[in-house]
Amino acid sequence: MTFDTTTHNSRMTHFDQHESFWLFGYGSLIWKADFPFLERKPAWIEHWSRRFWQGSHDHRGTPETPGRVVTLIRDQGAHCYGMAYRIQPTVLRQLDIREKNGYLRERVPIHFTSTGSAEGLIYLATPDNDAFLGEAPLTAMAGQIAQAEGPSGSNREYLLNLERALDDLGVSDGHVSALAAALPAIR
């Protein structure tokens, strides 16, 4: 099941009049920046945790066998680390298509690991979108990830690329690491 958010996101015009602004990537946007950007740097957002709770019917799975990709859940006191990109508003058209399966634009404060902060944008998949899968036992999620494959590649590859990208940033994410560790046990 898909929920195309492209039209909805195009109506969110908060950053349209800016010359540039910051986008925070917490999943594949960390390692797969296939869009033009002016600058990038490590960053984090407060009170959010990364979870493999969003279905991927269009990139890392199919409608028949959806994959699992990350979204964010509110988590008081948590920090989610990733990569921030300074982009121009025209880039949003491309990103809206990439993130169309249930992800909505949301404004958040982004903190840079070097210094400072800025208001920016995330793409967030909430429980009220049709592709949201929600929480499941770790072994069930790992099994689904191990089996799913879509036009953008295997879901396993997505998980392992994310774990590697976080490691390159010097970040440990218990949820990501636990899922990656469970993969070898699943054939």
Q: Is 187 exposed, middle or buried (0-12, 13-18, 19+ CB in 10 A)?
A: exposed
Please say if 135 is a catalytic residue.
no
Q: Catalytic pick from 46, 99, 149, 163?
A: 99
Closest by CA to 158, choosing from 73, 54, 86, is: 54
Residues whose CB is less than 8 angstroms from the CB of residue 179 and which lie 6 or more positions away in sequence, other chains included: 52, 138, 141, 142, 145, 159
Number of alpha carbons in the 13 Å side-chain half-sphere of residue 45: 28
The H or E element that residue 82 is part of is strand 67-87
Query: What helix, strand, coil percent values describe the chain, rounded to 5?
Result: 25, 35, 35
Are 72 and 48 contacting, i.e. CB atoms less than 8 angstroms apart? yes
Query: In angstroms, rounded to a whole number, what is the distance separating the alpha carbons of residues 80 and 88?
Result: 24
Instruction: Show which residues are catalytic.
Output: 99
